[in-house]
Amino acid sequence: MRALTFQKPYRLAYEEVPDPALETARDVVVRVELAAVCGSDLHVYRGHETGLDIGTVMGHEFLGEIVDFGASVDTLRAGDRVVSPFTTSCGSCFYCERGLTARCIEGALFGWVEGGEGLHGSQAEYVRVPLADATVTRAPEGLDPEVALLAGDVLATGYYCAESGGVGPESVVAVLGCGPVGIMAIVGSLELGSEAVYAVDGVAERLELAAELGATPVDLADGPVERLHGVTEGRGADVVLEAVGSPEATRLAVDLVRPGGTIAAVGVHTEERFAFSPVEAYDKNLTYRAGRCPVRPRLDRMLELAASGRYDLGRIISHRMPLSEGVRAYEIFDQKLEGCTKVVLRPDAD
């Protein structure tokens, strides 16, 4: 099959790789209809996250049709159109039972093969899905597949971020980063009742998306700390939702949050140290929550939210390209060229 593979930082290849096949009785193989590029793919692409084997198939956001299934697969059959979280999960280990599927003891991240171990990704014609019954879910009939695709990663992650931050009707929320995840953190905050959501980024078209949803856009260059202090009698935000993944963003989050407030960070961090000190945490009575989103327990709820039509979620998709143009898609998304906010790749458009 054709796939987009990792070669080295800033170098991907669109090339022929072996077709995935069932490896255990609990696997399915999915023919990928839609595969998105995520901000998380950029950490690998930019060489900030290291260890990936050369030739690893990239990507972890996908929607497609099951073409083959193992003998122990219970609830899924060939022809089912499914959407997937970006990690697999068994559904029955200590962590899965507690809803923390992102830390499943058998789980794996799509698009991460290191030292020959791991799972190839979905920016390809086909993808193998282990632990399929407890990992994927059927895409609802009648829901735009592009919108269903968003539920498996960025919508779930943004919503989770708002939940982790404890956002409620009284909260003054600052969302850092208006990429797809930050935009969905705005959606999550609105769903949880906040009427004061301030969205911070430095990119005009991303701030526009935030404003369209009803957030107040704040340009990074316009002094976000003063802005937030100005609307909170000098206190700062009750909740900061960090959807960037850099020390600068962590630093800004700490400067923005009020004493006793919460920072919920879903940005993927690759630095060794926190950008704030234990003294600052103590002096602010700070709560800091972080980590990978456990998508699976939220997925059906996210698909319902997507289907509700309350938000024009598909609006974040700026680029639709054939998989064969995947190398260019990464360049555009990485450098934010052509107003790019999110790319969806189609293997069958080649």
Cβ at position 67, least distance to ligand NAD in Å: 27
29-to-53, 125, 275 alpha-carbon distances in Å: 22, 10, 42
DSSP states along 109-165: BBTEEETTEEE--SSBSEEEESSHHHH-EEPPTTS-HHHHHHIIIIIHHHHHHHHHT
Residue (39 or 347) nearer to ligand NAD, CB:
39
Residue (1 or 100) nearer to ligand NAD, CB:
100
Cβ at position 219, least distance to Zn ion in Å: 26
Residue (40 or 84) nearer to Zn ion, CB:
40
List residues bridging with 140 in a β-sheet: none
Residue 82: enclosing H or E segment and its boundaries?
strand 81-83
* Among 12, 57, 83, 104, contact with Zn ion (rule: CB under 5 A): 104
Interaction of residue 96 with Zn ion, rule CB under 5 A: yes
Q: Which does 13 bind (CB under 5 to 8 A by kind): Zn ion, ligand NAD, none?
A: none
Identify which of 148, 134, 242, 238 has the alpha carbon closest to the alpha carbon of residue 194.
238
Cβ at position 48, least distance to ligand NAD in Å: 10
Residue (66 or 340) nearer to ligand NAD, CB:
340
Contact of 289 with 265, CB cutoff 8 Å: yes
Cβ at position 54, least distance to ligand NAD in Å: 21
Identify which of 120, 198, 191, 129 has the alpha carbon closest to the alpha carbon of residue 155.
191
CA distance 299 to 262: 25
Q: Scanning residues 116 to 155, which ones bind ligand NAD (CB under 6 A)?
A: 153
Interaction of residue 232 with Zn ion, rule CB under 5 A: no
Residue (143 or 203) nearer to ligand NAD, CB:
203
Neighbours of 120 (CB within 10 A): 25
Q: Scanning residues 289 to 328, which ones bind ligand NAD (CB under 6 A)?
A: 292-293
Interaction of residue 43 with ligand NAD, rule CB under 6 A: yes
Dmax (CA) for the chain in angstroms is 62
* Among 182, 188, 217, 326, contact with ligand NAD (rule: CB under 6 A): 182
Cβ at position 72, least distance to ligand NAD in Å: 28
Interaction of residue 202 with ligand NAD, rule CB under 6 A: yes
Instruction: For the sheet with 237-242, list strands across it.
Output: 216-219, 196-201, 172-176, 237-242, 257-265, 287-290
> Residues in contact with ligand NAD, total (CB under 6 A)?
32
CA distance 226 to 210: 20
Q: Scanning residues 129 to 168, which ones bind Zn ion (CB under 5 A)?
A: 153
Secondary structure (3-state) at 79: coil
Contact of 124 with 12, CB cutoff 8 Å: no
Interaction of residue 3 with ligand NAD, rule CB under 6 A: no
Cβ at position 184, least distance to ligand NAD in Å: 8
Residues that bind Zn ion (CB under 5 A): 38, 40, 89-90, 93, 96, 104, 153
Residues that bind ligand NAD (CB under 6 A): 38-40, 42-43, 153, 157, 176-182, 200-203, 206, 220, 243-246, 248-249, 252, 266-268, 292-293
